[in-house]
Chains A and B, each alone.
With several copies, the nearest count.
Chain A
């Protein structure tokens, strides 16, 4: 299913003739496009034939602006009936192509139909006169379109700027950079990092649950068995065998317990050398 909510992120391009279509291009993630050349296109030639290139509208307002331009209509006097019809045709087309039409496009369709029906209502005779323009059901839509188009133009400006910037390169890495192999951070980095740690932690907890916990009694038992078998145990090596913090603590307590109750001694053969647990 293709979602139209963000058509460009999918970069779908269709060519439709007589409601037959050919998928021209399908790529995900990568989008190299020309802001000015690759605008959407709906071509109506004479007959019932309808050619459409879709998937390149950034939203319902974008589509609407396009349709108004296509009709060469004045934005301040939108032929609402005609525009609504084309807009709905476009939505129909989407459905025929089995493209999930984003809710935002449907909301706009509803708005257009509502405006259209309001336009058909007989006007309140009292309202005719100076207030007439005030009551135009299209006014709110016009305002939104005008506001939206400013940002669409600004997006074009940003596109130009980024194109120019891509032609400029900064120096390659130098030795001193390595002292600074660090990352910039924003609050979202904090959150992302925290989520990653949490996920990692969940994995570890799962692993711990899967393992059987060794009780202190069992630990003492196995430790005793080993001492009596080998005569002595390297404590560091013994501790390193422990697979979790909890096991380590248990092992440590077990050692203390054995030293207290049994005839074993803790020995350090050399200063800073390994500590050995030895049968007396």
Chain B
């Protein structure tokens, strides 16, 4: 009975209530959740959702518990705190996963900064064939095909994926430092 009444003339949710709800939803989601999705489901203002998430993140921060709220790949996510990695790894009996090779990392860097970019363009910058690396990056879902270039042979173009953002802890591509920033290091 009570629920029905609530459904018909729902009293506006208080900020505290909203925090409670978004915490539950971000928890059940199996990947970072965009505040727009949350706003749609809850029929709330996107700004209110963002505010609730920010507040929740602050609360987690202040609590200094085992978990943190992260803004990643355009969404929100609950994850363990970095400092606890040793215990977590011991518990899960996992070892740090194999890292990308130097060649694959370089290829990924070129794709991240030059996307959409073709295989010949990557060769131009790296000075070496990158097919193996591109295959690896596709297999690991770090890059995706981004259509074909209107050039001779219509080569495939590549760009980074959402998984790239997640695996490298980026909110979006603009969070990458500018490639020109690396110039200072060169000389």
Contact = CB atoms under 8 A, between A and B. Distances in A.
A8 interface: yes
A245 B124 contact: yes
Interface stretch (A125-133, A192-200, A214-222, A223-231): A192-200
Given A154-B112, A191-B179, A149 B186 contact: yes
Contact of B101 (A6, A102, A153, A170): A6
Contact of A30 (B24, B98, B102): B98
How extensive is the interface on chain B, given as a class? 35 or more
A163 B100 CA distance: 11
Contact of A168 (B85, B105, B112, B138): B85
A192 B29 CA distance: 28
A209 B81 CA distance: 60
Interface in A82-118: 102-104, 108
A201 interface: yes
Given A56-B102, A165-B167, A193 B109 contact: yes
B168 A151 contact: no
A146 B125 CA distance: 10
Contacts of A185: 99-100, 105, 108, 168
B105 A158 contact: yes
Interface stretch (B39-47, B48-56, B88-96): B88-96
Interface in A14-37: 29-33, 35
Contacts of B14: none
Contact of A157 (B79, B82, B177): B177
B170 interface: yes
Given A150-B183, A194-B113, A32 B125 contact: no
B78 A195 contact: no
B64 to A, nearest CB: 16
Contact of B109 (A29, A31, A190, A201): A190
A78 interface: no
B127 A148 contact: yes
A59 B96 CA distance: 27
A122 interface: no
A159 B29 CA distance: 27
Nearest to B86: A167
B172 interface: no
A239 to B, nearest CB: 16
Interface of A: 5-9, 11, 29-33, 35, 56, 58-61, 75, 102-104, 108, 144, 146-159, 161-174, 176-177, 179-195, 197-198, 200-201, 204, 245
27 contacts: A5-B128, A31-B99, A33-B102, A59-B126, A60-B127, A150-B180, A151-B110, A151-B179, A151-B182, A155-B106, A158-B109, A158-B168, A162-B100, A165-B167, A166-B85, A166-B97, A167-B83, A168-B81, A170-B28, A180-B95, A186-B144, A190-B105, A190-B109, A191-B109, A191-B113, A192-B182, A194-B110
Interface of B: 24, 27-31, 70, 77-83, 85, 88, 92, 95-106, 108-110, 112-113, 123-129, 132-133, 136, 138, 141, 144-145, 161, 167-170, 175-183, 185-187
